[in-house]
A = this chain, B = another copy of it.
Amino acid sequence: MTQTPAPLLAPRLASVLGRIDADLDGALARLIDLLSIPSISTDPAYKADCARAADWLVADLRSFGVDAETIATPGHPMVMGHVDGPKDKKTPHLVFYGHYDVQPVDPLNLWASDPFAPAVETTAKGRMIRGRGASDDKGQLMTFVEACRAWVAENGALPCEITFFFEGEEESGSPSLVPFMNEYKERLKGDVALICDTGLFGHDTPAIVTMLRGLMGEEIVIKAADKDLHSGMYGGPSQNPIRVLTRILAGLHDDTGRVTLDGFYDGVPELPADVAAQWQVLGFEHEAFLGEVGLSQPAGEHDRTALEMIWSRPTMEFNGIIGGYTGDGFKTVLPAQASAKVSARLVGTQDPHKIRESLRAYVEAHLPADCTVEFHPHGASPASVMETTHPAFEATRQALSDEWPNEAAFIGCGGSIPIAGYFKKIVGVDALLTGFARDDDAIHSPNEKYDLECFHKGMRSWARILDAVSQG
């Protein structure tokens, strides 16, 4: 694909871009309002805040003519909205997905400011919106909403049929998502699904993600004695669940960084030569990628590049561990239990359920006498490889290339965005994933931010995409 010169803008697009530029402060104020709601979905203490964020979105969509509502689920509510397309012209039906819930904020002491008192900061790296959810995913979600608002304001109506679909459980394993999509399949059946929860490639290169890793999460709780014991009185002949757990976890990787579970690599393909060649062109440098977070050398599987490990290799990671006395000072206790949260990122056709079974069998096989184990599953989604044949993919690639300094790329993504697979499997619709996050946005970490440039150019990108895909 050779780069074409930037086309002359259609008047309907030019006016929308102009309005987006002029109303940046308004868009920022709305985003800050949404960011100030602590919609942490994984923590039951924030249930009412999640509902409040959903209601906020419904009110905002209605403010520019979208027929919007919340729909209750056993967990947090979904937000659905709809506008018809023009009657006189054949245009695609777009279904836009984002999520309004956010990650927990601990460790809170590492935040330089209140995560739910968002603000625009001017730094040496430019202006940025600081706060939990600024990038993942409220800021990204609002780039699309703002583009639509500007479009309606300038052109009286959106250029095509659009269904808005916002979830509130993405950061907590999406327990209600599959049943909901099955029940509301007909309303979600568009021509293409747009998902805005990914990032730029490097600083200035927009990207469409066509490979996503899957995810299998499991909590493992090892128990031994029926109470915490004194390590002087009992240390030696008594089982110590921390010792049992660390030994079990340590056995999950061999000395070359490979996962040892039976069948773990079943369905893991070698990277096709053409994809490897595309990625080669991107000029990814692990020194820069890792250097950004204070690291320098690729860990993990020996003889694999860092980019391969992130985009096309599976992992088994330990996301949390706790047991015994963890406060200040020292307590010579043998704890009654210890637990770990473990997750695998999956690629190819790895089966999350089989991997969960294999993990459980391994743990049980390594459990010494007098120990018991409890398992708590947290999500299971296979990897996805997108089809990119729908014309919206090429139109979007061109629109993104027009807005950003560099041409847009089709790339892989190490994260797991199960919704993409569900759109394909449940609704039969291809998912187009694009977004404007940067690697240093610190999503899921303290001091999350979203560059003002990304927010601004993100809105402008969506305006261009709406224009491009609705040319008919």
The interface residues of chain B lying within 8 Å CB-to-CB of A294 are 224-227, 370
A250 at the interface (CB under 8 A from B): yes
The interface residues of chain B lying within 8 Å CB-to-CB of A326 are 320-322, 339, 341
Of A151-159, A261-269, A297-305, A388-396, the one touching chain B: A297-305
List A residues 217-252 near B (Cβ within 8 Å). 217, 219, 224-240, 242-243, 245-247, 249-251
Asked if B331 and A293 sit within 8 Å, CB to CB, the answer is no
The interface residues of chain B lying within 8 Å CB-to-CB of A249 are 242-243, 246, 250
In the complex, what's the smallest C-beta–C-beta distance from A285 to chain B, in angstroms? Answer: 12
Asked if A227 and B310 sit within 8 Å, CB to CB, the answer is no
Question: Would A331 and B110 be within 8 Å (CB), given that A293-B234, A315-B236, A321-B338 are in contact?
Answer: no
A464 at the interface (CB under 8 A from B): no
In the complex, what's the smallest C-beta–C-beta distance from A432 to chain B, in angstroms? Answer: 19
Asked if A299 and B239 sit within 8 Å, CB to CB, the answer is yes
Question: Would A324 and B338 be within 8 Å (CB), given that A318-B246, A444-B333 are in contact?
Answer: no
Asked if B246 and A232 sit within 8 Å, CB to CB, the answer is no
The interface residues of chain B lying within 8 Å CB-to-CB of A378 are 329-330
In the complex, what's the smallest C-beta–C-beta distance from A201 to chain B, in angstroms? Answer: 12
The interface residues of chain B lying within 8 Å CB-to-CB of A36 are none
Which among B43, B230, B251, B317 is the interface contact of A250 at CB below 8 angstroms? Answer: B251
List A residues 309-345 near B (Cβ within 8 Å). 309-310, 313, 315, 317-335, 338-341, 343, 345
Give me 5 other A-B pairs in contact (C-beta within 8 A), A230-B445, A231-B343, A245-B246 excluded: A227-B294, A242-B320, A320-B324, A320-B326, A333-B444
